Structure formats: C-alpha cells, structure tokens
Amino acid sequence: MSTDAVIVGGGVAGLTAATYTARAGVDTTVVTDGESTLARNAHLENVLGFPRGVNARTFLELCVEGAQEAGAAFTEGRVARVEPTADGFAVETADGTSFTADAVVAASWSDASYLADIDGVGFLDRGSKTFIDADETGRTGMDGLYAAGRLAEQPHQTIICAGHGATAALALIHDADIPYYHDWVTPEGYFTERGRDVPPGCVEIPADERRDREARANERMREAFEEPQPDGPTMHPSVVAAREDDGEH
C-alpha cells in the first residue's frame, strides 16, 4: 500500500498530526496498536473548551472522527519496522502489512523499537523511558522522519502532545513543499475583499454555509454528549495484575 504519510500511533499527538496532514491534502494513513494511554484517564479536565472536563474516551472518539473527516485512513497493527528507501520509507507491521510512504510521523508512546536501525535517529534514555531525539518541530536526524508528542519527550499532557502533533505535521507539510499558508476557514471576503487571493490552506465561506457548518457541528456535539460513555477508564496494567494476584490469595 502506498501513501504520502504514515502516522504511527493513534493517541492525541498522532491524531492531531493526521488531521493537519490530511487537511493539507497529504494522503495519510494512521497505524494504531490498541487504545491510547489517554483512555486511562478517569476524567479529562485540563483541555481548552471543556470548562468542566470531558470523558477521555469520548474525547478520543471525537479526535478519531475528526481525523477521519479530514480524510485520514486508519489501520490496526503494531509497526515492527521502518526502513529508509530511495523514495521515502518502507513500513511494515508485525502481521506483515506493508506500506510505502514519503514521510513517517512516530507518535507511538511508548514504543520506538521499530526505528532502532535507522542511521541518524537518536534516542534518549530517561530512566525506564526511551524517547526519540527530535528538535522542537519534531524533525529527527533522518529527513522525512518526525517524532511527535510524548515519544518526542514532550510532557505527558493531552493538550501539549496534541499541539506538538500539529507542529510535527506542519514541519512535514513545509518539508514536502506543499503550498500552504494557514489552515483557516474564513468568512467570505476576508481575503478577496482586500484584493488578495485566498492563500493555500485557507478557504472563504459565505454566511449560509457558515450557518450550515455550525448547525451540523452543534448537532454532532449533542449526539456525542447525549448519553454517558458506556465504558469506564482503563486501569494501569500493573494495578490490574496486583488486583488479580490479591484475588488469588
């Protein structure tokens, strides 16, 4: 399977990166392996826009939906190998599914073993944790390979990792020489009535379309929050194991 960008990891960093790349016209595939660590949160209370917090699973589901709406494709699997090629990268999962991609964004906390054999990629050991050595934009020592979120040694906070996913995506877009200004949806005339062409990445919409988009967004939010989330948070594996041991004695 061929794609422009493979995003490894379906947490907030990977999902945000995928949303930005897909909206910029980059053919994007997200490879996910199980649920995000965010699903362990009992209640997510420190992200903008939710003054009383939000159920972490509901938040994740909406993030996935947003990336899909932007055009990103999703596939399940654990990435086992990433290998540089003359044209980009070969990506292979543990079950043998393979991709070719121009670029890769690694956002797979806490596994980076699939990058171990790539020259130019540095690793930082911090106690029991291993991070990818990347600059503030997410660029690594290998052209076309980016790291985002916690794997890039960003703080273990949802909004920071999401923001870094966007930063890494913008670095990828810039490096790909894609015409791009900002990802903005503006009212009709915002640029054109100042004698400017609408910049790449931006769009002007008339008032009736703005109202329609708002109505559809409001309806989707009502649906998302109409009923309580049926699944609770995922407990840390070590606590689960300890509880099981206690139950055996």
Transcribe 155-200 into DSSP letters: -S-HHHHHHHHHHHHHHHHHHTT---S--EEEETTTTGGGT-PPPT
Q: Is 5 helix (H, G, I), strand (E, B) or coil?
A: strand
pTM of the entire structure? 0.95
| H or E element, residue 216 | helix 207-225
d(CA 59, CA 67): 13
Report the topology of domain 2-175. Answer: FAD/NAD(P)-binding domain (3.50.50)
- Domain-by-domain residue ranges, the chain? 2-175, 184-249
pLDDT tens sequence for the chain (249 residues): 999 999 999 999 999 999 999 999 999 999 999 899 999 999 999 999 999 999 999 999 999 999 999 999 999 999 999 999 999 999 999 999 999 999 999 999 988 999 999 999 999 999 889 999 999 999 999 999 999 999 999 999 999 999 999 999 999 999 999 999 999 999 999 999 999 999 999 999 999 999 999 999 999 999 999 999 999 999 999 999 999 988 754
